Amino acid sequence: MNKFLLILFIFTFVNCKTEPKNDKSKAEKQSSLMAASDTLIYPEEKYFKSIRQITFGGDNAEAYWSWDDKQMIFQSNNEAWGMNCDQMFLMNIQDSFKDQKPPMISTGMGRTTCAYFMPDNKHYVYGSTHLAAKECPEVPLRKNGNYVWPVYDSFDIFVSDLEGNITAQLTDEKGYDAEATVSPKGDKIVFTSDRSGDLELYTMNLDGSEVQQITDELGYDGGAFFSPDGSKLIFRASRPKTAEEVKKYKDLLADGLVEPTEMELFICNADGTDLKQLTFLGNANWSPFFHPSGEKILFSSNFEAEKGFPFNLYFIDIDGKNLERVTHGETFDAFPVFSNDGKYLAFSSNRNNGGTRDTNLFIAEWQE
């Protein structure tokens, strides 16, 4: 799923002019990973020791770490880099792209989404529409006045090396196959597919074999990640219940669309057993990722918002207790991903975008 569309949903309402307060001491500024004087940390953000901005324009998100924490792959539609829609880019952790363009490692054709490093640190898995057309697919944003995400039936899942050469195609079923992430155990991939007629979670081996369906309830299941030990899955889901909600969901899905405005988090074992709803917050709860301990989930939500924004990051225990707000912006924070060693958090934010609609990547030094 191209999750930037939720960002566009937010942008319809947000002018993104609020900047972080700057009451850090001079010593704290000097010790920051930031080269600039402003650390971009709000006073209440106690988990951020320092922060560094990576990109400076366009929509940049879903930055995922290599297994040795030395590199990241992220997607961007930055027009300054010649992009008409999302493509994949590679960065070394010390990089910053204010005055330079990172190497593009996808084909440059179609639209791409959700790149995730393979265990060898030399290949990555991602979704792409390039087999259907070289051009970027159309991006519908509204259906009957409501905001929607497209679920392109041209998405399939591929493996590529870091030079952009596709080495394997993992899915060839008719319909949507995307949102692939890899287990920290290095043995399984979880992804979303509508091959059953509904958007469900599946797992497969790294070579695409032994596909197993994980979820089977009506509604969109996606954005799944494994726990650090590979034993559990956390994901976002919609669950239409009333006849009206069911009809609306099915009609949209028949048109290759879903509405992203009502989603909750669910957790289950990696084989789909012991499925439980984790949040009951209302609005959109999404982009969940396990804390390195495996005992908490960091996720993005607008449940406290009255008009669809802001989105902030929150913690919740895997038993649904101890909800805690982590970021304190007035616009958008999402896509949190911990480094494998637990020392850093990559995320996307509207902070420090100069009043534009840009969503940039940041890396925060984590402290507890």
| pLDDT value, residue 30 | 35
The string of pLDDT tens digits covering residues 197-227 is 999 999 999 999 999 999 999 999 999 999 9
User: How does DSSP classify residue 20?
Assistant: -
The string of pLDDT tens digits covering residues 149-191 is 899 999 999 999 999 999 999 999 999 999 999 999 999 999 9
**Cα 78 to the chain's mean position, in Å?**
17
Cα(265)–Cα(232) distance, integer angstroms? 13
Q: How confident is the model at residue 263 (pLDDT cuts 50, 70, 90)?
A: very high
Cα(6)–Cα(257) distance, integer angstroms? 13
Cα(285)–Cα(45) distance, integer angstroms? 20
The string of pLDDT tens digits covering residues 70-79 is 999 999 999 9
Please state, rounded to an integer, the average pLDDT across all residues of the chain: 90
Write the CB contacts of 42 (distance below 8 Å, at least 6 apart in sequence).
20, 21, 327, 328, 329
**Cα 1 to the chain's mean position, in Å?**
9
pLDDT at residue 298 tops 60: yes
251: helix, strand or coil: helix
The backbone torsions φ and ψ at residue 61, rounded to the nearest 5 degrees and listed phi first, read: -160, 180
Alpha-helical segments (H) within the chain: 4-11, 26-31, 243-254
Whether the link from the prior residue into 310 is cis, omega within 30° of 0, is yes
Residue type, 263: M
* Token pair listed for 228: 């650090």
Distances (CA, A) of 33 to 42, 99, 366: 15, 18, 12
Cα(336)–Cα(321) distance, integer angstroms? 20
Cα(48)–Cα(101) distance, integer angstroms? 27
| pLDDT value, residue 309 | 85
Per the CB < 8 A criterion, the answer to whether 87 and 75 are in contact is yes
Per the CB < 8 A criterion, the answer to whether 92 and 82 are in contact is no
97-115: burial string, b at 16+ Cβ within 10 Å, e else: beeeebebbbbebbbbbbb
What number of residues does the chain have? 368
The string of pLDDT tens digits covering residues 232-242 is 999 999 999 99
What residue segments make up the domains of the chain, in order of their start?
Answer: 4-11+51-302
pLDDT at residue 39 tops 80: no
Write the CB contacts of 216 (distance below 8 Å, at least 6 apart in sequence).
196, 198, 200
Write the CB contacts of 347 (distance below 8 Å, at least 6 apart in sequence).
313, 333, 334, 335, 336, 337, 361, 362, 364
| pLDDT value, residue 12 | 36
Q: In terms of DSSP bridges, do strands 156-161 and 123-128 run parallel, antiparallel, or are they unpaired?
A: antiparallel
Cα(21)–Cα(40) distance, integer angstroms? 8
Sign of the dihedral defined by the CA atoms of residues 121, 125, 126, 132, in that order:
positive
Of the two residues 321 and 354, the one the predictor is more confident about is 321
Question: Within 10 A of 352 (CB to CB), how many other CB atoms are there?
Answer: 18
Per the CB < 8 A criterion, the answer to whether 264 and 278 are in contact is yes
Cα(348)–Cα(61) distance, integer angstroms? 6
- DSSP bridge partners of 157: 127
Q: Which fold has domain 4-11+51-302?
A: Neuraminidase (2.120.10)
Per the CB < 8 A criterion, the answer to whether 89 and 73 are in contact is yes
Side-chain-side CA neighbours of residue 313 (13 Å): 28
